[in-house]
Structure 1
């Protein structure tokens, strides 16, 4: 089938001899290839096996996208967010299961989750949230060796045609800017 060329070019696949022009515009997201390939994913279950949740607290808040540090846990932005402001609350200790947390860790994780909700409401006016953990690879945990709780802000209409039909998420703010805004909005203890 021969198609008429359009007056716009959306990428190298439309160059002669490279591929058939199909009239679609494309949103290129090459940064997601790191997620698809599993880059920075631990090579094993130990904290010395490249666990990013063990490495992140060693750097600066800005470089690690850390929003707030506590005694037993810290809040960090997700590098591959479902929505703007998608953050995680992680214990410093390398544990895989919620049942492995000691009382102090479990309490601080719960309190940090409450503060994350308050910060997201203040910073972004979120209408609701998805909060939860995927415990184990079969449950969907991308990094199953180190427990982390997701806090995903939601707004009415945030599941529009882009993610449903286009399988693309539009994020209106850079992660560093989101981190600064949430750190500023985090409630005091």
Structure 2
């Protein structure tokens, strides 16, 4: 069993806070996570509504995870947010990398209106982050763009397939460089802090994974 951690490709913008975070951990794993290196799998997913589902399922097939931690950047957020649920709705305010911009479309026509995150211990994770001086909170709305689509598709797939994969979404603020070059009004969070936040989250999951593996 393993943990799959994903971010989104930078696309045309050239920088995506989630891609920077996941790539940073993949290439320079913090010391606390080194004992779990073999169980951690990192992937960057496309900014394409059409390709997203197939891309993440390919990563799931390759890594056979017990837990999926999806990360995405959220302009305007000033905390690390763990999403409680995903809604069955694509309503893109801006187009994806292919120019697709669905408005008011269902993600899964036969699916429920919403699916609860199945990532365990989210309140515990939030409490740990705040105790470490990292602003964090649970969130009740993950937007209606690609992050929400990813979480909903995987929660629905896990339910339908009976795979037992447990999934959650972590939204992070943009990086300081993005405020300098793209969104001067947005709150930001340094990469060092988002690295510390995701490390903390992964340690909680790794400990649970170890308990499940131990006979």
Shorter-chain TM range is 0.3 to 0.5
Higher relative contact order (CA 8 A, sep 6+): 2
Tell me which protein shows more helix as a share of its residues.
Answer: 2
Structure label with greater radius of gyration: 1
Tell me which protein shows more strand as a share of its residues.
Answer: 2
